[in-house]
Amino acid sequence: METFINLLNTLDGLLGAAFYFPFLLLGVGLFFTLYLGFPQIRFFPHAWKVLTGKYETDDMEGDTSHFQALSTALSGTVGTGNIGGVAFALYLGGPAALFWMWITAFLGMTTKFVEVTISHKYRVKDKQGHIAGGPMYYMEHGLNMKWLAIFFAVATVISSFGSGNMPQANNLSIGVETSFGIPAGVTGFVLAILMGFVIIGGIKRIATVTSTIVPIMAAMYTIAAIAVIISNFENVIPAFVSVFSNAFSGSAATGGFLGASFAYAFNRGVNRGLFSNEAGQGSAPIAHAAARADEPVSEGMVSILEPFIDTLVICTLTGLVILSSGVWQEKFENEFQRFDTSILAGEYIESNPAHVKQLFEYLDLTNFSESKVRKFTGNLTVVNGLIQTKGITILHNRSIAENVHLKIDEDYFTGSLKVTNGELNNTSILLVGDSLLHSVPLTTEAFKRSFIGDAGQYAVTLGLVLFAFSTAIAWSYYGDRAITYLLGDWAAMPFRVVYVFGFFLASIADTSLIWIISAITLALMTLPNLLGMMLLRKEMKSEVENYWVEFRKKFPH
């Protein structure tokens, strides 16, 4: 497992976590924003009119309405990224990460506009008479680069598990277990069965389900978030200030949070922003391809609204809830996951600025070769669950763990334990103590800090169930279309079966491991899609110009 984790970290370091990735993603968005004259601002009002069906006619080809296509695409983006992903970004990068999520969303509105328009132009009709589209089709027919189309389609199949399936199932099951005490495996099994019934029906049934779920879940989550923000109103302005003041300097250490450099906050904010709104990833164009529209640009207009709703509205609400409540810098009792736990040689204290600086550099991978922090190797003496060995520090969730107890089979452990390179050799030992939280548990704690008290966690849980379930449904369609492109229609049903099984399996897996897998697969889709968009930049500009010429002919007033 350690070798596998190291491999994943290496891949992530070469792809999504690499220094070039956020610059490339934002760079493409910035280029098209300037190249097309800020379409996310100029076309924003028009996009709402297109969404309402004002310019839609019955003879337009497609399987869904503009609203259903947007709902399906939104259901694929509005998921655990909005609940757990924002919390994960703040946990890693502090308030500064939220700023870079905003920038990613603003530029992402243009990126989404471009990728959806181009993909919609090159959509095709399959043997069953259904519309099929997505970046693999513009790569093959628009760029004549079949190899790139195949690479993207393969990445989409993998990412349907890494982005749309596994993180959703895992966060959903953990949230239900935390709030209601229902075992994660039970939740995963029941929802996997329900998912099977939905996705077998194809895009029309998926669109019907998602267009019903999305408005309900967004409204419910927004109301609960506003309740928390109102309850912590005095902290809202300071929270906003911290987001902007730390944007270019990194987030300073505070409470149990050991700080984050600018580079780390920037990278994680952009990365989590992309995970949330998927602008540039190439997933949403697959859903939008099914929309009834005779002008590709009109569907591109609708897609502008996705990053706005997903990140600038819903993610901002989550971020303000977490920051204004203060939970992001507080420690809570929790069970330690081995992936996030490390035993260090030496005693480190949060009140010692020198210790905080050393741990900050160690965690942020700055001056790593010169770091004085070393992982512990040796034996621990434990009595009634308490470590007696001096001169060690336990890190969990990027914080110094406190009140740590060791258990085995629900009983406090007594005896000697061997530690190698910071990890316990005995994998049956469970560590429980106080540390920072991340992902869904962090958001859940934040939602308790309002006048509705502990009941706030149920809003998160119910929202999570709807968000994550609808996301997994949408991504099943993305993977379905990709596997069909690669192997033909016969492969769709086997894929759906494996997809449902994967959803159940992920409900009982390690959270942090899944986040890394999702980051890797996200980058594998994004990189070829950004390349294809840039190669078709002139064609995109021509499409926009022609759209307005034709539009003014049809609707002169």
Ordered structural domains, the chain, with CATH: 2-38+49-330+446-550 (1.20.1740.10), 334-435 (no CATH)
Higher pLDDT, 435 or 367: 435
- Convert the pLDDT of each residue in 440-472 to its tens digit: 789 889 999 888 888 887 887 887 788 788 888
pTM over 0.75: yes
Higher pLDDT, 53 or 487: 487
CB-hemisphere CA count at 13 Å for 403? 9
Residue 109 banded pLDDT, cuts 50, 70, 90: very high
Q: What mean pLDDT is predicted for residues 331-339? A: 90
Higher pLDDT, 349 or 219: 349
- Give Cα 211 to chain centroid, integer Å: 21
Q: Is the pLDDT of residue 25 over 80?
A: yes
Provide the angle, in degrees to the nearest 10, between the axes of the packed helices 296-303 and 96-121: 160
Q: Which of 134-143, 221-230, 289-298, 479-488 has the lowest mean pLDDT?
A: 289-298
Residue 115 banded pLDDT, cuts 50, 70, 90: very high
Residue 306 banded pLDDT, cuts 50, 70, 90: confident
How far are the Cα atoms of 124, 184, 382 from residue 155, in angstroms, in the given order?
A: 20, 28, 46
* Residues 6+ positions from 402 with CB-CB distance below 8 Å: 331, 433, 434, 435
* Residues 6+ positions from 255 with CB-CB distance below 8 Å: 326, 329, 330, 331
Q: Which residue has the tokens 């309740």?
A: 227
For residue 144, what pLDDT is reported? 95
C-beta atoms surrounding 537 within 10 Å: 16
Q: Is the pLDDT of residue 367 over 70?
A: no
b/e map 261-282, b = 16+ CB within 10 Å: bbebbbbbbbbbbbbbbbbbbb
Residue 186 amino acid letter: V
* Residues 6+ positions from 40 with CB-CB distance below 8 Å: 33, 106, 107, 109, 110, 113, 304, 308
Q: Quick one: the chain helix, strand, coil %, rounded to 5?
A: 65, 10, 25
Nearest to 312 by CA among 322, 304, 324, 301: 304
- Give the integer Cα–Cα distance in Å for 87 and 231: 19
For residue 278, what pLDDT is reported? 76
- Give the integer Cα–Cα distance in Å for 98 and 110: 19
- Give the integer Cα–Cα distance in Å for 489 and 509: 31
